[in-house]
Structure 1
Amino acid sequence: MKHVYLDNAATTQIRSNVIRKMQDALEIYGNPSSTHSFGRTAKTAIESARKTIAKYINAQPSEIIFTSGGTEADNMIIRCAVRDLNVTTIITSRIEHHAVLHTVEELEKKGLIKLLYVDLDTFGNPDVAHLETLLQKDDTKKLVSLMHINNEIGNKIDLEEITLLAKSYGALVHSDAVQSIGHYNWDVKALPIDFLAAAAHKFHGPKGVGFAFIRKNSGLGSMISGGSQERGLRAGTESFHNIVGLEEAFINAYDNLKEEQKYIEGLKTYFIEKIKADIPLAKFNGHSGTIEKSTYTLINVCLPIAEDKATLLLFSLDMKGIACSKGSACQSGSNAGSHVLTEILSKEDMKKPSLRFSFSIYNSKEDIDYTIEVLKNSIDA
């Protein structure tokens, strides 16, 4: 049976050279907090990784804090902004990743913040005029949290416009950049954003490691108490081999960015053309079918399949060796449906199956041909 992995927005295949780097790192067993030579060797490698990431996004090394991934980084930033920075109002959207949504909902439930949602257009983009209205609402300290690229529909927002608008009203700005870091260039000196979250396994690195960008002198404190690791902002012995893997994957992602982006964008363009030709009644959700307005790494498509057949479609694809997702991997086992699609699709389209296909350098046009063939047969059956 042919195997086709089109769920790269959930996680990516680790590059072979990243695996080798991590294997070598496992031989370095000193605790990075120890002052002897074994510890110093590990500490030096961690600081090298911090400097590497800072260089590529034009940050200062002290602004890079290693975490267990994007979810921890999002939680740390949002919770500590409320605790340490006097944030009492958070503005976000209803289609954020649950790492953001569940966190702000909990803070609101505890009475710690006022939670405001920016309106969305029919494609799922934030209404900038409404955002300005929310920023003007009162003089409370505000945090705007909007993801650069939506993990389900791939919409790419104008983060520069939103950041500059928010800053003009004195608000702090955070973005879940998990689907963006490693796929797009960043310059945090040019973009006055306060906080970012990233995860290594979205750009061919290991799972269980990521980082938070925290603007220098932000005043943010630690969410995890204990030791003084990560400049006192994240206690606990560092996951040394994972950090080394993150650095190697990060270097590979950015040194090969233009070439790999062109290749993957070609796959997405081909997928769009094949869907339009072979399944003309299919609809692209959000802006995922438009190259200019969405990330080049994924497509979310609503398929013309009757409701009684829809429930088995993902299973049928899996049986044919095709891996994709009906939403984010974090909720693909849930029967609740996609909170993102619920916000932008009609009730009629919500009855039809919507699938997310996401691409990487390890995919080919042959993979897409096979997938479209299986989809077409499932619809015609």
Structure 2
Amino acid sequence: MKIQQLTLGFILLILVACGKKEKSAEAGKPEPDQSIPVKVVSVVSEVVSVPVQVSGIVGASNEARPAFKTGGVIARILVEEGAYVRKGQLLATLNLTEINAQVQQAAEAVIKSKRDLNRAKNLYADSVATLEQVQDATTGLNLAEQSFQIAQYNQSYSEIRSPISGKVIKKLMNQGEVVGPGTPVFYILGDGQADWVVKSGLVDRDWARLKLGNRAEVQLDAYPNQTFAAKVTQLADIGNAQSGTFDAEFTFTRSMPRLAVGLIASLNIFPNEGGAHPIVPIDALVESNGNTAAVFVLQPDNTVKRVEVSIGQIFENKAIISSGLSTDSKVVTSGAPYLEDGSKVKVIN
């Protein structure tokens, strides 16, 4: 019995000694590295002009839809579609039969009113007519003369002369048709270099960045692989109620090939934006939401700090930071989605 107890105690001593030896060995081993491998980049400050990219349609800034002031039957159409016309050129005339008769009628009314006035004056001198009758006759003559002037004026505008120099794009009426006052008969586009423009709609954010004279580059589907220089010449001060955008016009600054209204255009407009801003790769942004995001900034003790930033613009694979980040920082790019505020990191190349 004593031998068994001695044996059991000896075994226990051996086990305790082995346990202490294993603990000593474990205590001597280095702890495993828990650092997360990451890549970092230095925040740089640059002056960057991010272009405004929009689509547009070629149009004309100088166009006209001339019409007759009075109605009537079209007697002559003197130009056809596709013709080039100069300012002041006669384009069409009305049949003057009715209009001339109105002028003659008004002229006869003037003659009659003059006779009535002379008669009233003579009778008034003989104390037969009253002063009121003379005054009424005078008023009648004045009205007749004004009616005559109106008839002559309408007679002079019974023809259409081109208000601009350009090309007749569309002939809307034909000879012999009855036309009403103010009804367009032609559609004329100006043919000068400055008459061609690109019209587009801008969202409010882009509208606020642009100013008159800003440089633009235009590409037309009709002329692939070609870029045409232009500039901002109009920016609307009132939003378009239908589209919710602000209308803008861009004028070409160099001679252009043959153009037509309705050609599709793509534009890059370059605003004049002064001042340098911090720039980081898009890979550094985490938890982005609209104009805000977060980045992890490397600390001296190889930990990271989560920093909220505001995004000014995004272009290509970079983001312009408008606030929240200084240029003497380093931000995490590769590995950023796996980090938390205070995470231990190991910078790798």
TM-score range, shorter chain: under 0.3
TM-score normalised by length of structure 1: 0.21
Give the number of the structure whose residues are more often helix, by fraction: 1
TM-score normalised by length of structure 2: 0.22
Structure index of larger Rg:
2
Give the number of the structure whose residues are more often strand, by fraction: 2
